[in-house]
């Protein structure tokens, strides 16, 4: 392309390059620090060690935290798909009075900052005894996840030819059969995409989990935040090691997600649903 | 009896004609979730905000707005969120503009741009503290090359939070802008070029108006992300002063002073401020252009 020779292009790529160099430096500094012995006023730490990972794993009880994270995410993904799929089917296929209002209702939890609804939600969950336990964390995380599944899946369903369903109905299939035998198999890619994205969001969701979790029901982000904000208790390198573990986990999830969905297409599909 | 059944059937038919039938029951569980876990707590919170322990219905709001330390959190948050959202959207446009066509390494570049999403607040915070801190690689490189004498102070203040929000927000804004931009039909620009329009004219008259709705949406979404900043304002910021954002104020009220009424009031104020900004942005863009963006979308 001849545009690449223009000065404007060089400036743009220069800025992108600068951003990436600094970003790489930032990430590398954490990785280096997590493997370093002691690191003060020098370019590199004085020696390499893996003790911080061992320390993080043991002292911090990383295994139960990872298990909680896994439990919470699995429950949130499962429940939000179960609840979201039928709703997105109706929203994709049917025109009925109040459809626009419903859409707005499902859009609101995504548009509001989690803290704004998280605080009253946490209060309500404490009132009924859910907060502080796994159930409270799961319930809170469902609030943005169910709408997210609905908004991601609706365009997928719109792409399926309704004639296929009509044909199935002609042959005597009921709604349940249409769902299980026709729609579910055709929707597998969409459901997978939505699940992986909900998974990434749930693992990374700080505010809602922070507001509703008890000591036994912290997920990785919250545990990590607590260990970092309580400065001085834990060696900085040990926090670095945990941060590397967290990012490694997220990276694996994201790579899996990118194999299933093309990020730009996905955003464009979500955009179509935006009534604003 | 027969007449009663008759009217019932007729009613069902009439409703079905308007699109209401039993299939809508499939919406039930999702609706129940939103109502029980979002709408009900929301109104419960609003109610709570008007029931402070003492001082009448508006006491919680009054104490928020009369205390300058609390009130200023709104300005602090906006002063962080608006520039960050503007920068993220503004920087995304030229970069996405360059990346519209097909070229080698496009997929790789997109992937690399998505990676910061996985970093998470804590790794970003630790990275910023390590990298931009007084003895970090950034200051070290600048000092070794003789650009500066004293290390720049870039963490535990406004800039630390600013950078952290750019790192987490930019990839997101970029992906959105790129997808909106690739939705615009390139033949429109080609047609303008054959009529003799230069690139600046083409951009201003064709691409920008078509992109405006997408930019408004992207701005709103990145603004929401930046506006709700909480962990990084504590970890790389100055949570008692320069970066005491409104979510920190809400958290303090609720979970350190155990004043749920005030916490709810702050959450309500926070939601309102955010909705006002979004309404202004969306209202402004609907003044500019209303219509479809044309392309595949």
**Of A96-110, B14-28, B119-133, B248-262, the least confident:** B14-28
User: Given a cut of 50, is residue A13 above it in pLDDT?
Assistant: yes
B111 interfaces chain A, CB cutoff of 8 Å: yes
Closest by CA position to B236, among listed B150, B137, B123, B144? B123
What would the mean pLDDT of A31-35 be, rounded to a whole number?
81
Mean pLDDT of chain B: 80
If DSSP codes are grouped into helix, strand and coil, which group holds residue A93? Answer: helix
- When pLDDT is cut at 50, 70 and 90, the band that residue B259 belongs to is confident
Judged against a pLDDT cut of 80, whether residue A115 lies above it is answered with yes
Q: Give pLDDT tens digits for B214-237.
A: 888 888 888 988 888 888 888 887
Question: What band does B289 get if pLDDT is binned at 50, 70 and 90?
Answer: low
Rounded to the nearest 10 degrees, what angle do helices A236-260 and A220-229 cross at? 150
The Cα A173–Cα A179 span in angstroms is 10
Q: Do the Cβ atoms of A1 and B103 come within 8 Å?
A: yes
Q: Count CB-CB contacts under 10 A for residue B117.
A: 20
Report the pLDDT value the prediction gives residue A56, as an integer from 0 to 100: 75
Average pLDDT for chain A: 79
Range in A245-249, B9-13, B128-132 the model is least confident about: B9-13
The C-alpha atoms of residue B293 and residue B297 are separated, in whole angstroms, by 7
Asked if B34's CB is within 8 angstroms of A147's CB, the reply is: yes
| Percentage with pLDDT > 70 across chain B | 90
How close is the nearest chain A Cα to the Cα of B7, in Å?
Answer: 22
Q: What is the pLDDT of residue A40?
A: 64
Mean pLDDT score, A197-213: 84
* pLDDT, position B84: 92
CA distance B140 to chain A (A): 8
Task: Looking at the complex, report in whole angstroms how far the Cα of residue B230 sits from the nearest Cα belonging to chain A.
Answer: 8
What average pLDDT does the segment A163-177 reach? 85
A43 touches chain B (CB under 8 A): yes
How is residue A219 annotated by DSSP?
A: -
Q: Does B42 touch chain A (CB under 8 A)?
A: yes
Q: Which residue has the higher pLDDT, A114 or B112?
A: A114
**Which pLDDT value is given to residue A231?**
58
Least CB–CB distance from A84: residue in B30, B42, B178: B30
A117-135 residue pLDDT tens: 888 888 888 888 887 788 8
Task: Let me know: does B296 contact B183? Beta carbons within 8 Å.
Answer: yes
**Looking at residue A262, what is its pLDDT?**
61
Q: Which two tokens stand for residue A6?
A: 């223009």
State the average pLDDT over residues A167-187: 84
Q: How far is it, in rounded angstroms, from Cα B203 to Cα B212?
A: 12
Q: Which of A5, A41, A119, A201 has the highest number of chain B CBs within 10 A, making it the mutation to test binding with B?
A: A119
User: What ipTM was estimated for this complex?
Assistant: 0.77
A263–chain B Cβ distance below 8 A for any pair: yes
Residues B232, B165 contacting (CB under 8 angstroms): yes
Q: Supply the pLDDT for residue A158.
A: 81
- Return the higher-pLDDT residue of A50 and B8: A50
CA distance B1 to A221: 63
| Mean pLDDT, residues A64-75 taken together | 87
Note the pLDDT of residue B291.
52
CB proximity under 8 Å: B 57-76 to A: none
**pLDDT at residue number A78:** 92
- Which region among A3-7, A30-34, B145-149 has the lowest average model confidence (pLDDT)? A3-7
3 state DSSP class of B54 = coil
Rg of chain A on CA atoms, in Å: 23
pTM of the model: 0.81
What are the backbone dihedrals phi and psi of residue A98, each rounded to the nearest 5 degrees, phi first? 90, 5
Inter-chain residue contact B30 with A105, CB threshold 8 Å: no
Which residue is closest to A88 within chain B, CA to CA? B27
Q: B134-173, pLDDT tens digit by residue?
A: 777 888 788 888 777 777 777 788 888 898 888 888 888 8
Rg (CA), chain B: 25
**Distance between A147 CA and the closest CA of chain B, angstroms:** 8
Q: Which of B15, B41, B159, B270 to substitute to test the interface with A, most A CBs within 10 Å?
A: B41
CA distance A90 to chain B (A): 6
B268: CB partners within 8 A, 6+ apart: A116, B45, B46, B49
Residue A263 pLDDT greater than 60, yes or no:
no
pLDDT band at A79 (very low <50, low <70, confident <90, very high): very high
Q: Which residues of chain B lie closer than 8 angstroms to A113, CB-CB? A: 224, 227-228, 247, 270-271, 274
Q: Report the distance separating Cα B253 and Cα B63, nearest Å.
A: 11
Would you say residue B195 has pLDDT above 80? yes
What does the pLDDT average to over A94-113? Answer: 83
């Amino acid at each position: 392309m001849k545009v690449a020779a223009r000065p404007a292009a060089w400036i743009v790529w220069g800025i992108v390059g600068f951003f990436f160099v600094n970003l790489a430096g930032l990430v590398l500094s954490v990785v280096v620090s997590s493997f370093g012995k002691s690191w003060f006023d020098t370019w590199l730490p004085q020696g390499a060690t893996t003790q911080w990972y061992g320390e993080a794993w043991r002292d911090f009880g990383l295994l139960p935290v990872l298990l909680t994270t896994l439990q919470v995410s699995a429950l949130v993904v499962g429940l939000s798909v179960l609840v979201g799929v039928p709703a997105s089917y109706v929203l994709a296929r049917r025109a009925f009075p109040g459809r626009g209002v419903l859409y707005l209702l499902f859009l609101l939890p995504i548009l509001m900052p989690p803290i704004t609804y998280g605080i009253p939600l946490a209060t309500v969950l404490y009132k009924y005894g859910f907060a502080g336990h796994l159930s409270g964390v799961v319930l809170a995380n469902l609030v943005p996840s169910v709408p997210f599944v609905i908004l991601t899946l609706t365009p997928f369903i719109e792409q399926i030819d309704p004639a296929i369903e009509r044909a199935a109905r002609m042959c005597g299939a009921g709604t349940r059969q249409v769902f299980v035998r026709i729609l579910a198999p055709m929707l597998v890619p969409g459901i997978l995409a939505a699940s992986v994205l909900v998974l990434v969001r749930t693992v990374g969701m700080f505010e809602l989990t922070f507001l509703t979790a008890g000591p036994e029901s912290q997920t990785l982000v919250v545990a990590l935040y607590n260990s970092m904000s309580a400065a001085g208790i834990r060696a900085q390198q040990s926090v670095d090691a945990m941060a590397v573990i967290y990012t490694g986990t997220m990276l694996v999830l994201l790579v899996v997600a990118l194999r299933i969905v093309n990020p730009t297409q996905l955003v464009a599909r979500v955009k179509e649903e935006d009534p604003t | 009896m027969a007449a009663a059944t008759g009217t019932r059937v007729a009613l069902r038919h009439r409703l079905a004609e308007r699109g209401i039938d039993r299939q809508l029951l499939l919406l039930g569980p999702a609706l129940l979730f939103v109502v029980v876990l979002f709408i009900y707590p929301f109104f419960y919170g609003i109610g709570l905000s008007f029931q402070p322990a003492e001082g009448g219905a508006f006491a919680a709001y009054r104490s928020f707005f009369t205390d300058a330390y609390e009130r200023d959190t709104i300005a602090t948050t906006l002063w962080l969120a608006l520039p960050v959202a503007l920068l993220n959207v503004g920087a995304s446009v030229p970069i996405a503009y360059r990346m519209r066509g097909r070229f080698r390494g496009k997929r790789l570049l997109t992937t690399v741009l998505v990676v910061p999403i996985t970093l998470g607040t804590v790794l970003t915070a630790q990275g910023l503290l390590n990298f931009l801190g007084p003895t970090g690689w950034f200051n070290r490189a600048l000092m070794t090359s003789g650009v500066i004498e004293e290390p720049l102070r870039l963490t535990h203040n406004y800039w630390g939070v600013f950078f952290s929000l750019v790192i987490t927000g930019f990839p997101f804004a970029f992906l959105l802008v790129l997808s909106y931009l690739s939705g615009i039909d390139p033949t429109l620009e080609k047609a303008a070029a054959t009529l003799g329009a230069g690139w600046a004219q083409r951009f201003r008259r064709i691409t920008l108006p078509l992109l405006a709705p997408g930019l408004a949406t992207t701005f709103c979404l990145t603004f929401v992300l930046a506006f709700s900043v909480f962990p990084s304002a504590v970890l790389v910021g100055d949570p008692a002063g320069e970066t005491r954002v409104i979510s920190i104020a809400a958290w303090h009220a609720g979970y350190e002073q155990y004043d749920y009424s005030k916490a709810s009031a702050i959450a309500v104020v926070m939601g309102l401020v955010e909705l006002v900004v979004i309404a202004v942005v969306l209202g402004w863009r609907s003044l500019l252009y209303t219509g479809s963006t044309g392309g595949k979308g």
